[in-house]
């Protein structure tokens, strides 16, 4: 799965939405849970910022339960930018990744 856009991170990756009620999507936890529940192999490429979440305290997490089924390292892996980094809108990560394959 390849995703690009706004993001932040603590121990996991989040997407940031332009929404007044829910702005954080727990994308990594959700995909890990999906991999764990179904046994499917998921590889994610996050071409998004990994700005520290503590710098973005004004974001709303929305309503809902926390995901409990985290998944194991053999059903889920991801490729992303370095922690605490921002990604330019003209990122070449997808092209570089495709060329490397």
| Cβ atoms of 68 and 36 closer than 8 Å | no
Report the percentage of the chain scoring pLDDT > 90: 0
pTM greater than the 0.95 cutoff = no
- Closest alpha carbon to 9 in 50, 43, 44: 50
> What pLDDT is stored for residue 48 in this prediction?
85
> What pLDDT is stored for residue 65 in this prediction?
46
pLDDT tens, position by position, 36-73:
888 888 888 888 888 888 888 777 654 444 545 444 55
> What pLDDT is stored for residue 90 in this prediction?
84
- Closest alpha carbon to 4 in 79, 68, 57: 79
| Angle at CA of residue 33, ends 40 and 85, nearest 5° | 105
Q: List the end-to-end C-alpha distance of the chain, in Å, as a whole number.
A: 15
């Amino acid at each position: 799965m390849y995703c690009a856009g706004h993001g932040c991170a603590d121990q996991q990756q989040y997407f940031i939405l332009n929404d007044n009620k829910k702005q954080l999507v727990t994308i990594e936890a959700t995909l890990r849970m999906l991999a764990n529940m179904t046994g499917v192999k998921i590889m994610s490429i996050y071409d998004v910022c990994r700005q520290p979440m503590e710098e973005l305290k004004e974001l709303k997490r929305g309503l809902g339960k926390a995901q409990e089924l985290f998944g194991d390292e053999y059903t889920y892996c991801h490729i992303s930018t370095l922690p605490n980094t921002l990604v330019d809108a003209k990122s070449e990560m997808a092209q570089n990744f495709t060329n490397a394959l």
